[in-house]
Amino acid sequence: MDPFTLPQLPYAYDALEPFIDKETMTIHHQRHHQAYVDNLNIALAQTNEVNPDLDSLLQRISEYSPAVRNNGGGHYNHSLFWEILSPQPKITPEGALNDAIISTFGSLQNLKAEMKKTGLSQFGSGWGWLFVKFNGSLSISSTPNQDNPMMDVLSMNRGFPILGIDIWEHAYYLNYQNKRADYLDAFWSVLNWSSVERKYEEALSKVR
């Protein structure tokens, strides 16, 4: 049995409209994410890994082939992406995460502005991240391709992702064409802060 499978979406393909359209969601999940899962399983079959843990694998990704890096990152990143989106999202953070956002960025609006700036400045395909650094603080960065802040191939800006924005063209081009800024603005309308809060607590438990 293959170690990894495509996760089911917790909502229908058209549930995020008009912000993310049904056709984009269907292709993104069934074709792009499925391809990452299939190719990751193929790549891992060439290794000695038995019942691999994806988080642990990514944290020592320098030990593996580019195929494991690209497809392992693709599987992890997309799984997180689906999880933090919702057709009925909690639209603002609360509690410890909200306190950390205000302490770090000054306000939620400042965080959104910084995430947009980071997403627009990423040349080509990649991701924009809000993550918990290994010292427990919040930070924002972008990564190319399917890399993410957990990977040990990064020399800086490392930590545990709690929010990721897919800025590959396949994530938005059918609806937004070349208007990446509009897509980055629309993203917040379907971001579920409840999921991000849970990921924040999980990340803090790993760095304490």
pLDDT digit string (tens) for the chain, length 208 residues = 889 999 999 999 999 999 999 999 999 999 999 999 999 999 999 998 888 899 999 999 999 999 999 999 999 999 999 999 999 999 999 999 999 999 999 999 999 999 999 999 999 999 999 999 999 999 999 999 999 999 999 988 899 999 999 999 999 999 999 999 999 999 999 999 999 999 999 999 998 7
Binding residues are 28, 78, 166, 170
Question: How many whole angstroms separate alpha carbon 56 and alpha carbon 54?
Answer: 5
Residue 17 sits at the vertex; the CA angle it makes with 13 and 22, to the nearest 5 degrees, is: 35
Domain assignment present for 118 = yes
Residue 152 lies in a domain: yes
16 alpha-carbon distance from chain centroid: 17
- Whether 13 maps to a domain, the answer reads no
Task: Determine the structural domain holding residue 52 and report its residue range.
Answer: 21-208
Could you tell me the CATH number of the domain that includes residue 35?
3.55.40.20
CA 89, CA 111: separation in Å to the nearest integer?
18
DSSP state, 51? S
Any domain includes 140: yes
Domains in the chain: how many in total?
1
Residues annotated in a binding site for Mn(2+): 28, 78, 166, 170
Residue 15 resides in a domain: no
Q: What is the pTM of this model?
A: 0.96
